[in-house]
Chains A and B, each alone.
Chain A
């Protein structure tokens, strides 16, 4: 079943404007005002509150195995996390995770 061109472009336009509005929301409203201390304190944790939430299901229920736990992928994630926290280096962490994943997959665990 294919999607009609009109529907598709209507959705693209709606999503484009809507998601820009979501992204602009607070940047636009807050303007040059100072936020209360308690809000600023919370927002310091945005990154570590959102990303692990995105990552966890991908690691424990990978799409490649239709959601079944997968040891190579789990260990690759663990190594990436460990190297990332320990060295604080993005590329090093990615390299360590990639090497782990490929060697695990090739040894057929």
Chain B
């Protein structure tokens, strides 16, 4: 049977193609909230990979979350244990992008205001991801190609990060990360991304340090 490959990055659509019902697809999204890891896991299961391998690779794809965790810890370390446990659950690319920029631009924010911000706007994104999954699973291949939904996610991500590219070290970091991740794209399981990120952020910090020394 010929099955058209979906062109858009929607987990729900893929889940429906792989025969998951809506309940399972949504539960998957609610429990994991990580697109790339969910895609990787589903594809590997389809290829009959051993369960443990599926989990390990799914987590490898998600390694950047640990980096987000360390960065949020610098902003929210004074929060109580259980609050931090909920902060952790809601970490995603979107919530991190919004919260990190807000906290860096307004270093004088009190902890309670930071938490209020974190759990309002950015956490909404997590809800949208889950709702989006169920819509995708429901609509499936009925979403027309001319909508070019495949490119909605890259545009949203560019718009999220662009305002943070406000100084030379930030631009050097961004350019390095983009170049390295393109060069390392053939590396399996998103490992190229995490290597590119680590090199780029150390370089950014070094450029910042040298600029401070010369000024």
Q: Which A residues are closer than 8 A to B by beta carbons?
A: 1-3, 7-8, 10-16, 18-20, 22-28, 30-33, 35, 38-64, 73, 76-77, 80-81, 83-85, 88-91, 93-94, 97-98, 101-102, 105
Whether B12 is near chain A, meaning CB under 8 Å from some CB there, is: no
Q: In the complex, A27 Cα to B171 Cα: how many Å?
A: 27
Q: Which of A40, A42, A46, A93 has the most CB of B within 10 A?
A: A46
Q: In the complex, A50 Cα to B198 Cα: how many Å?
A: 8
Query: Is B69 within 8 A of A23, CB to CB?
Result: yes
* Chain B residues whose CB sits within 8 angstroms of the CB of A83 once the complex forms: 162
Query: Is B87 within 8 A of A27, CB to CB?
Result: yes
Query: Is B158 within 8 A of A84, CB to CB?
Result: yes
Minimum C-beta distance from A27 to chain B (A): 5
Whether B84 is near chain A, meaning CB under 8 Å from some CB there, is: yes
Q: Which B residues are closer than 8 A to A by beta carbons?
A: 7, 9, 18-20, 24, 27-28, 31-34, 37-38, 41-42, 45-46, 48, 51, 54-55, 58-59, 62-74, 76-78, 81, 84-85, 87-89, 91, 93, 96-97, 100-101, 104, 146, 148, 150-151, 153-166, 169-171, 173-182, 185, 192-193, 196-198, 200-202, 204-205, 208-209
Can you list 10 residue pairs at the A/B interface with Cβ under 8 Å?
A: A3-B19, A8-B45, A12-B27, A13-B31, A22-B63, A46-B201, A48-B204, A50-B67, A58-B157, A84-B159
Query: Is A44 within 8 A of B205, CB to CB?
Result: yes
Q: Which of A7, A52, A80 has the most CB of B within 10 A?
A: A52
Q: In the complex, A63 Cα to B157 Cα: how many Å?
A: 16
Query: Is A85 within 8 A of B68, CB to CB?
Result: no
